[in-house]
Amino acid sequence: MDRNSIDDPIPGQRANGGRIVGPTSPPSHPLALAPVTAPPHSVDGFVREFLRELNTGQGVALSQSTVNDQYLALARTVRHYLMARWLETVRHNRESGAKVVGYLSAEYLLGRQLDNALMATDLGDVAEKALASCGLDLATLREQEVEPGLGNGGLGRLAACFIDSLATMSVPCIGYGIRYEYGIFRQTFVGGRQIEQPDTWLAMGGPWEFPHPEAAVRVDFGGYTETYDDDGTERTRWVPSWNVLGIPYNYMVPGYQNGRVNTLRLWSAVATKAFDLAIFNAGDYAEAVRAQTFAENITKVLYPEDSTPQGKELRLQQQYFFVACSIRDFIDRILGEDFDLHQLPERIIYQLNDTHPVIAVPELMRLLVDEKKFEWDEAWEITRRCFAYTCHTLLPEALETWSTDLLGRLLPRHLEIIYRINDQFLTQVRDAFPHDELRVRRMSIIGDYPERSVRMAHLATVAGSKVNGVAALHSQLLADKVLPDFSALWPEKFTNVTNGVTPRRFLRMANPALSSLITDALGPGWVTDLDRLAELEPYAEDAEFRREFRAAKETNKGRLRALLARRDGIDLPEGHLLDVMVKRLHEYKRQSLKLLHVVTLYDQVVSGRVDPETITPRTVVFGAKAAPGYRMAKETIFLINQVGATINADPRVAGRLTVAFPANYNVTLAETLIPAADLSEQISLAGMEASGTGNMKFALNGALTIGTDDGANVEIRELVGDEHFFLFGMLEPEVAALNSIGYKPSAHYESDPDLKSAINLISSGAFSRGDRHAFEPVVSNLLYHDRFMVLADYRAYVDAQARVEAKFADPEAWTRSAILNVARTGFFSSDRSMRDYLNRIWRAAPDR
């Protein structure tokens, strides 16, 4: 694989650290001590900055500018206000020597940046007035921003919430990740089926990023290893066969009105040699640029699988690429040559966000042993203290493995290091559990079946100083069922940190109506101290407050109605129970259970069993992307769309039942959708959803949850109380028991007339213009396979929905419960999650 030769990078560029050659002390000037000052917070000051950006940045006059020019100028203007704080934060970090959290994540689902930056700087009103004085509308400019969708779902969004919280809590943190040129695909529907389109988020300019090509880092791949004599010591070195450059792009991560701006550093791959002039001159243009195309593929596109890795070589390249860059960045550029790496664990803790960055473990070992010439044991001691691992799943198919063939071809030295780590580890296992070779095989980092491969979760668990799950139930199941041998060997290694969400984006910013109601009652402090929401409890008994709370919900429904009309041409009825299920499409999450409920409601009316006048008017909203290669998920989307189209066109249920499935659910849509919801659907099969974080966002915005005893639902219910949560379905031990005796879905179909009738209606062609086979894959999957026990929980679910309707009929009781949901879920702030990580795992502290 001789795509690139091992040349020095572009002349004038230094791969390792990009330090500038020149005088030993950095340039200075008295005026540079305060390098940039924030522009004045006045409307006039803002106008001046904005016009300057428009003129000198975009090169246009206001009168000639396009909306995109105006958006870009506005973004850069707001950026100026953060700049001084950013530079100051970086300087302070360097000088204080405080321990840094290096959050390693292949995904960051950031959401739009403009509003967040306006909120962090408290410039929303100033910007609005300033723009208005120029004849411009902030809301219109805001709509121009394409959100950076550099993640698939919960895992990537969690990373974004965490870095927000760390900045707000003044904890030094660098988020490290990948700058995908194309993020999560844009979903559209054609004939009810999902079509994926590339996400061209950078097409109109990226005003929030700061590229630093001069600080490029070289990353090697391929080749072989050899031993050599190093003054009497035998050492190994890696002789790679090709390489690429990683260019850092920095993004600001502003704390909430606290003067701190942390950094998110995303890496982009380019070729070490732009093209081969000799080949070009000889006339083969395609061949001349091949190396470049090849290198740039590494960060071209985000893999769209959520929770089900495909084991593709390019993905391993992505993973190694970004962690190799990130470790180099910290050791060579931030710490520098003089730093004694024995002290590394005092300066950084790398948090591994799932197994995607785990190849960082052998990479740090390689750096210490091969390059810095540390003894193996010493290097291992340092490495172990520098990493901690978060597991985000319970699905066995989601645990990443890499075939040793592939890994050895791409990273031969890393594979050797992994083997040696494994040898030492298995010796330890044999010492602790003599004569138990079965256990040794189960625990080995190297698996043999179905092919010889590296089990990344095992490597992470062996290397990590701590291993955590993401909700109480998940951490328990992780220790008991996913990694039981490891928790038996190292019980103290395992811990829980329940996920959280940032109250800034998902309450303060997304729900201005409820936010101001809360601020009127409690003052503004809750935004950074969400436990204070508890003080809302007494207001649940206050009729006037309840009225205002309902009014806020109505306002939010109005905003959603306007958005969906504009965005999707969807006409959302008024006065309905707004029932929302938004998350990735996955069988274990059971969108098909929600769908069976919808079909049942419809069936009851059209069959004449129920008088439509007696049912609770309800609008069911779905939002979900399916991985492009996940057939069952895509068939489910098709079914939902066809059922929705039929129901929405049927006069017999008009005004009573509506289904809306806006395409391309993303963070931006979530911000309008979640605050409008009455009912939050969290209906995964118990024991399958590690945590869920949407569930937290809904509760904090005053929706009631209908949910199973799964993931963080368990903790939500414990906190809000049984009367304010609609629990249904089997518990995890019941699921396990049913699995062990053998589950027969068809028995439920036969014994429950409503279920039978609903499934028959789907198979009858009623939703497919008479085509009885249109939904065959979904129907037969439910009847004969049903791995996630949809049919087993159907009856309990439909009954729980009847309880929902009974309660919704009493608006005062419903509102009381909704207020208590808000008041009792302050625990789910990601600030609290970060405190838990700091205390239980990182042993680092805020740096004020």
Residues contributing to the site for ligand NBG (CB under 6 A): 153-155, 158, 306-307, 354, 392-393, 398, 470, 499, 689-693, 711
Q: Which of 584, 590, 625, 824 is flagged as catalytic?
A: 584
DSSP 602-618: HHHHHTTSS-GGGSPPE
Q: What is the 3-state secondary structure (H, E, C) of 410-460?
A: HCHHHHHHHHHHHHHHHHHHHHHCCCCHHHHHHHCCEECCCCCEEEHHHHH
Q: Which of 559, 589, 594, 597 is flagged as catalytic?
A: 589
Q: What is the CA radius of gyration of the chain?
A: 28
**Cα distances (Å, whole numbers) of residue 705 to 269, 271, 818, 822:** 43, 50, 10, 12
List beta partners, residue 353. Answer: 390
Q: Identify whether 273 is a catalytic site residue.
A: no
Shortest Å distance, C-beta 306 to ligand NBG: 5
Residues 172-205, buried b or exposed e (16+ Cβ, 10 A)? Answer: bbbbbbbbbbbbbbbbebeebebeeeebebeeee
Q: Which helix (H) or strand (E) holds 126?
A: helix 124-133
Q: Which is nearer to ligand NBG, 497 or 818 (CB)?
A: 497
Shortest Å distance, C-beta 395 to ligand NBG: 8
Q: Can you state the angle between helices 114-121 and 67-96, rounded to 10 degrees?
A: 60
What's the sign of the alpha-carbon dihedral 189, 190, 192, 197?
negative
Q: Which is nearer to ligand NBG, 503 or 692 (CB)?
A: 692
- Residue 679's closest CA among 788, 526, 806, 773? 806
Q: Which residue is nearest to ligand NBG (CB)?
A: 154
Supply the DSSP symbol for 26. P
Q: Which is nearer to ligand NBG, 324 or 394 (CB)?
A: 394
Question: What is the distance between the alpha carbons of residues 726 and 724, in angstroms, rounded to a whole number?
Answer: 7
Strand pairing class (173-178; 100-104): parallel
Shortest Å distance, C-beta 151 to ligand NBG: 9
Q: Which is nearer to ligand NBG, 496 or 648 (CB)?
A: 496
Q: Identify whether 372 is a catalytic site residue.
A: no
Q: Which helix (H) or strand (E) holds 521?
A: helix 512-522
Shortest Å distance, C-beta 711 to ligand NBG: 5
Shortest Å distance, C-beta 268 to ligand NBG: 23
Shortest Å distance, C-beta 304 to ligand NBG: 12
Question: What is the distance between the alpha carbons of residues 194 and 637, in angstroms, rounded to a whole number?
Answer: 7
Q: Which is nearer to ligand NBG, 39 or 111 (CB)?
A: 111
Question: What is the distance between the alpha carbons of residues 682 and 226, in angstroms, rounded to a whole number?
Answer: 54
Q: Which of 79, 112, 328, 697 is flagged as catalytic?
A: 697
Q: Which of 186, 392, 508, 576 is flagged as catalytic?
A: 392
Q: Which is nearer to ligand NBG, 254 or 711 (CB)?
A: 711
Q: Identify whether 129 is a catalytic site residue.
A: no
Q: Which of 112, 265, 493, 583 is flagged as catalytic?
A: 583
Q: Which is nearer to ligand NBG, 303 or 486 (CB)?
A: 303
How would you class 309 by CB atoms within 10 Å of its CB: exposed for 0-12, middle for 13-18, buried for 19 or more?
Answer: buried
Q: Identify whether 79 is a catalytic site residue.
A: no
The tokens 């702030």 sit on which residue? 829
Shortest Å distance, C-beta 764 to ligand NBG: 35
Shortest Å distance, C-beta 382 to ligand NBG: 28
Shortest Å distance, C-beta 688 to ligand NBG: 8
Q: Identify whether 99 is a catalytic site residue.
A: no
Q: Which is nearer to ligand NBG, 261 or 627 (CB)?
A: 627
Question: What is the distance between the alpha carbons of residues 712 and 694, in angstroms, rounded to a whole number?
Answer: 10
Q: Which is nearer to ligand NBG, 345 or 500 (CB)?
A: 500
Question: What is the distance between the alpha carbons of residues 182 and 210, in angstroms, rounded to a whole number?
Answer: 18
Q: Identify whether 807 is a catalytic site residue.
A: no
Question: What is the distance between the alpha carbons of residues 199 and 187, in angstroms, rounded to a whole number?
Answer: 9
Q: Can you state the angle between helices 753-763 and 591-606, rounded to 10 degrees?
A: 90
Q: Can you state the angle between helices 790-808 and 753-763, rounded to 10 degrees?
A: 110
Question: What is the distance between the alpha carbons of residues 684 and 586, in angstroms, rounded to a whole number?
Answer: 9
Active site residues: 392, 583-584, 589, 693, 697
